[in-house]
């Protein structure tokens, strides 16, 4: 049986990990290098590193901090932020990333997904989608949740998977940082329409939120969170023990 993955997320701005609520009100947390090492030692299954302002500031991802972070982890590392071209894929992978997350760059040029999948393999291409519910419809936002695209989210996700994305990270703007649980309705819709791993992001506040996620939506492959891990509200070993006790397959 495939184990469920627990994935801490490092949202990096100006070389520091930050966290906000609903993608806004960012506050400084810690060094990404120190946090990455701690999470690797704590038993995280993977790690995500997002340079969250690279796209909105129209610049390349900070590679110096990324290199330092990659040296500290011995688990798969997914990196995103400002990925616009195959050259960006090359640069990030050479810095130590195992997978590359595309978001705004793929919205701007959808062929980037198929080009990257062809060159590096689908397992290397992660489609990250920032989604908000408006008038009963889920829409995609770009540039770290700052820019409304008018694009319907489910159709965009299906298009991205058909083009070769090997995983989908579903970032719910509505539940981000609120700590009242994952957006189960949105995740149910996504996981029913694609046949690649789906990673839930946004809303985790307690161990019970992960248990409810995996019990309710067994097709969801992983739970991603940031602040509850950063501030010590949930310890990864405790979370994994609780999952195992509740019959959820997990790597201890």
Tokens matching residue 39: 């999470």
| CA distance between the termini of the chain | 14
**11 carries an active-site annotation:** yes
Measured CA to CA in angstroms, residue 38 lies from 34, 35, 81, 225 at distances of 6, 5, 22, 15
- Measured over the CA atoms of residue 108, residue 109, residue 114 and residue 120, the dihedral's sign is negative
Q: For residues 135 and 106, is the Cβ–Cβ distance under 8 A?
A: no
Q: Which residues pair with 125 in a beta bridge?
A: 100
- Give the HSE-up count for residue 19: Cα atoms under 13 Å, Cβ half-sphere: 20
Q: For residues 85 and 76, is the Cβ–Cβ distance under 8 A?
A: no
pLDDT of residue 182: 97
pLDDT of residue 117: 98
Tokens matching residue 163: 């083009």
pLDDT of residue 93: 95
pLDDT by residue (tens digit) across 53-101?
655 555 555 677 788 888 888 999 999 988 999 999 999 999 999 999 9
Taking every pair of Cα atoms in the chain, the longest distance, rounded to a whole number of angstroms, is 46
Q: For residues 194 and 157, is the Cβ–Cβ distance under 8 A?
A: yes
Which of 130, 176, 183, 209 does the annotation list as catalytic? 130
Which parts of the chain sit beneath pLDDT 70? 15, 19-30, 52-62
Tokens matching residue 83: 């990925």
Query: Angle at Cα 159 formed by Cα 156 and Cα 161, nearest 5°?
Result: 110
pLDDT by residue (tens digit) across 10-33?
888 776 777 545 545 444 456 788
The residues, any chain, with a CB within 8 Å of residue 87's CB and separated by 6 or more, are: none
pLDDT of residue 131: 97
**88 carries an active-site annotation:** no
pLDDT of residue 121: 98
Tokens matching residue 119: 């060159």
Distance CA 245, CA 122 (A): 33
């Amino acid at each position: 049986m495939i184990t469920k993955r627990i994935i801490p997320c490092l949202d990096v701005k100006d070389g520091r990990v930050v966290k906000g609520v609903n993608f806004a009100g960012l506050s400084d947390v810690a060094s990404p290098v120190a946090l990455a090492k701690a999470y690797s030692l704590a038993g995280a299954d993977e790690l995500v590193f997002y340079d969250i302002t690279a796209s909105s500031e129209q610049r390349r991802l900070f590679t110096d901090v990324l290199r330092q972070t990659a040296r500290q982890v011995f688990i798969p590392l997914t990196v995103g932020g400002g990925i616009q071209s195959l050259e960006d894929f090359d640069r990030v992978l050479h810095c130590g990333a195992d997978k590359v997350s595309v978001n705004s760059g793929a919205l701007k040029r959808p062929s980037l997904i198929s080009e990257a999948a062809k060159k590096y393999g689908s397992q290397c291409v992660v489609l990250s989608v920032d989604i908000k519910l408006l008038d009963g419809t889920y829409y995609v936002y770009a540039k770290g949740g700052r820019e409304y695209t008018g694009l319907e989210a489910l159709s965009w996700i299906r298009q991205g998977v058909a083009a070769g994305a090997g995983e989908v990270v579903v970032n719910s703007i509505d539940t981000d940082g609120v700590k009242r649980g994952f957006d189960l309705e949105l995740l149910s819709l996504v996981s029913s329409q694609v046949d690649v791993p789906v990673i839930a992001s946004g809303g985790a506040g307690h161990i019970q939120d992960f248990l409810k996620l995996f019990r309710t939506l067994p097709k969801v492959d992983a739970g991603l969170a940031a602040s509850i891990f950063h501030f010590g509200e949930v310890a990864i070993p405790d979370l994994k023990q609780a999952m195992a006790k509740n019959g959820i397959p997990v790597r201890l």
